[in-house]
Amino acid sequence: MIRHYNIPVFLPELACPFRCSYCNQSAVSGQQSLPDADEIRNVIERNLQSFTHIERHVEIAFFGGSFTGLPLSSQAYYLNIAQPYLQNKHVQGIRISTRPDYIDTKTLEFLKTQGVKTIELGAQSLDDEVLQKSGRGHSVADVIAASQLILEHGFRLGLQMMIGLPADNFEKASHTAQQIIDAGAHETRIYPCLVLHDTALEQLYRQGNYVPLSLSEAVEWSVALNLLFEKSGVVVLRTGLHASEELGGGGLLAGPYHPSFKALVMSAIWGKQFNEFAEWPTSEGVIIFTTSKELNFAVGHEAINKKKLLDRYQKVFFKADPQLEGRDFYIQGC
């Protein structure tokens, strides 16, 4: 089975024409300055050495700023660093993240010649009121037009979304997810909106004009969105932000941050499956079989699902079955 790896290279706030109300990239990434060529090569080499799967697909990923907003010479500078790794086949492609209003035919044709395979757009929301109140500086129409252009040029398309932005609600977030699916995205990321220091959102929060999602609300929304994307075949690359010293320390003011946010969401999905399962055996104990990949999520973060089952059974065991796929499971009494 082929394992997919990204090598993340962060270019914080580079070329962003607006500073969105929620944005403080140094707090999110833990990175204060731009990496030079040697630093980028070191990141690439260090990551390549850490990958364990022989069968793998690796992309160098330029994240953090609006990559295609850079002057063409700057884009070429960063992409050129990746070329030797493409040529010796240590990596199979490059991915970039950018804004939907920084996409045009000339840019895409250039990226194609440089080995870029995947383009992620920071859509964040596909509701114009949410975009306007978040200071995004682009419209829903911009996202849809850019997505169509990216797909027409043969790139893999990612559309990132953020839940709990100003003026957002669950219905709008669900509609955003459905529009991401309808736009033909291959993949997505789901980020909860956080209140970070030194942002416009901090001022709204302190004035009482913005209330972030609670952790339980963010988990509940993310469960529903993950299931919707899975049903439609859109790959959810990430749920929640990477942990960083800044988020775990002084950078975060308020909002649904948890260093194991994905584990909370995946655990809740398994809890939902168990609650809806109707064929529990009438025995003293149970053995629940899952894939090895899902086993820890089935047990639950801090064993929450196992603890609930122990209210019904004297013994609860979880085991991996290599014949299972995805989130399939079966149960035996014991």
**pLDDT for 34-52, tens place per residue?**
789 999 999 999 999 999 8
- Which amino acid is residue 304, in one-letter code? I
Phi, psi (deg, nearest 5) at residue 160: -85, 145
Domains (ranges, CATH) in the chain?
3-259 (3.20.20.70), 270-333 (no CATH)
Name the β-bridge partners of 236: 188
CA distance 212 to 254: 7
Return the ∠ at Cα 239 (arms to 181 and 304), rounded to 5°: 125
Distances, alpha carbon 219 to alpha carbons 179, 191, 215, in Å: 21, 11, 6
pLDDT for the residue numbered 30 = 47
Q: Looking at the predicted structure, is the pLDDT value of residue 134 above 70?
A: yes
Out of 7-11, 145-149, 209-213, 317-321, least confident range: 7-11
C-alpha distances in Å from residue 268, one per residue of 218, 299, 305, 329? 12, 10, 8, 15
E-strand spans in 12-115? 56-63, 93-98
Q: What CA–CA distance (Å, rounded) separates 209 from 201?
A: 9
- Residue 12 near residue 65, CB atoms below 8 Å: yes
The answer to whether 253 and 283 have CB atoms below 8 angstroms apart is no
Mean pLDDT of 108-112: 97
188 forms beta bridges with 159, 236
Q: Kindly state the average pLDDT of the residues 145-150.
A: 98
Task: Say whether pLDDT at 20 is over 80.
Answer: no
Q: What is the mean pLDDT of the chain?
A: 92
Query: What are the pLDDT digits (tens) for 234-271?
Result: 999 999 987 664 565 568 899 999 999 999 999 999 99
Residue 299: alpha-carbon gap to chain centroid: 23
Flag whether pLDDT at 215 surpasses 80: yes
- Of 135, 115, 108, the residue nearest 124 (C-alpha): 135
Helix axes 261-276, 215-232, angle to 10 degrees: 70
